[in-house]
Amino acid sequence: MLAIIGGTGLTQMEGLDVVSRKAVSTQWGEPSAEILTGSVGGKQVLFLARHGDPHRIPPHKVNYRANIQALKDAGASAVVAVNAVGGIHPECQPAGLMIPDQIVDYTWGREHTFFADDLDEVVHIDFSWPYDEPLRQLLLAQAERLNLKVMSQGVYGATQGPRLESAGEIQRMMRDGCDIVGMTGMPEAALAREAGLPYACIALVVNMAAGLTDEIITMTEIESALHQGMGKVLDLLNAGIRVYEG
C-alpha cells in the first residue's frame, strides 16, 4: 500500500476518500498527525500530514522517526513525499515540479536514525541513491502521460530551517551542485531506507532561492506558487496511486 507524506500546502489530500483516521503512537513517540486510510480510484492509500493538521510543526521539530514508523506499522509498502522547495537551478521556476534523484544533507541535531541506542551491532545502510528508482520512474511515466512538465532529476539540498537560507548559503549550495533547497527532505529519506520502504519525492518549487532574484522572498509569493502548483501535484499523486502495485 502506498503512503503519501504531505508537506506545506498539503495537509489534506483532495480526492482521497477517507475510510478511517487513527491517532497512533510508536516507540519513537507520536507522529505529526493522524494516519488517514482511504482510497483513490479503488486503490487503498495512507496519508500523513508532515507538519500536522493544521500546519503547526516546523521542519526541525517534525518527529520523522515516528512518522516513518507509523506508516510502516500501518501497512505502507512505499512512500511518496511531497516537499515545497526553493529553486536554485535556472529551470526550477515557481510552480514547477521536480522528481529529484540525489540529496545533500545540511541539517543538524535531528533524530536521524533508528539505529542509535541499545544495538546488538552497528548498522550501516547504503545511501548511494537515496530515492527509489522504480518509484521515481513510475511518477515520471505518469507525469508524461498527463503532459506535466517535470524535471526528471536533480539534487535536493536539505537545510535546517525554519528560517530561509541566506544568499551566501545558496551560493555555497550552487557550488555543491544542489538544484533545489528544502527543509524536510532529511532525515525522512534516510529513515525510509532504514525501514526498508522505497521512497520518492515530488518537489514543488514555491520560490526562487535567496539572492537569485532582486526581490526578497515573501509568504505571499510562496502561497501563490503553492496555489498554482498543488493541482499538478495532486494530479500526479492520484495517477501514481492508481497504477502503483505493491
Domain ranges of the chain: 2-112+125-243
Please check if 51 is assigned to a binding site.
Answer: yes
- Got the DSSP string for 206-236? EEEPTTSSSSPP-HHHHHHHHHHHHHHHHHH
Please check if 208 is assigned to a binding site.
Answer: yes
Cβ atoms within 10 Å, residue 9: 19
Please check if 67 is assigned to a binding site.
Answer: no
Query: Which of the listed CATH numbers 3.20.20.70, 3.40.50.1580, 3.40.50.1980, 3.90.550.10 matches domain 2-112+125-243?
Result: 3.40.50.1580
46, three cell numbers? 495512507
The pTM assigned to this predicted structure is 0.92
Q: Cα(39)–Cα(138) distance, rounded to whole angstroms?
A: 19
Instruction: Name the residue among 184, 130, 177 with its Cα closest to residue 154.
Output: 177
List C-alpha distances in Å: 51 to 11, 32, 62, 100, 197.
8, 6, 7, 21, 20
pLDDT tens for the chain, 246 residues long, are 999 998 765 656 667 778 888 999 999 999 999 999 988 888 899 999 999 988 899 999 999 999 999 999 999 999 999 999 999 999 999 999 999 999 999 999 999 999 888 777 778 899 999 999 999 999 999 999 999 999 999 999 999 999 999 999 999 999 999 999 999 999 999 999 999 999 999 999 999 999 898 888 888 888 888 888 888 999 999 999 999 987
Please check if 209 is assigned to a binding site.
Answer: yes
Please check if 184 is assigned to a binding site.
Answer: yes
List C-alpha distances in Å: 65 to 24, 40, 53, 140, 240.
13, 26, 18, 28, 25
C-beta separation of 87 from 209 below 8 A: yes
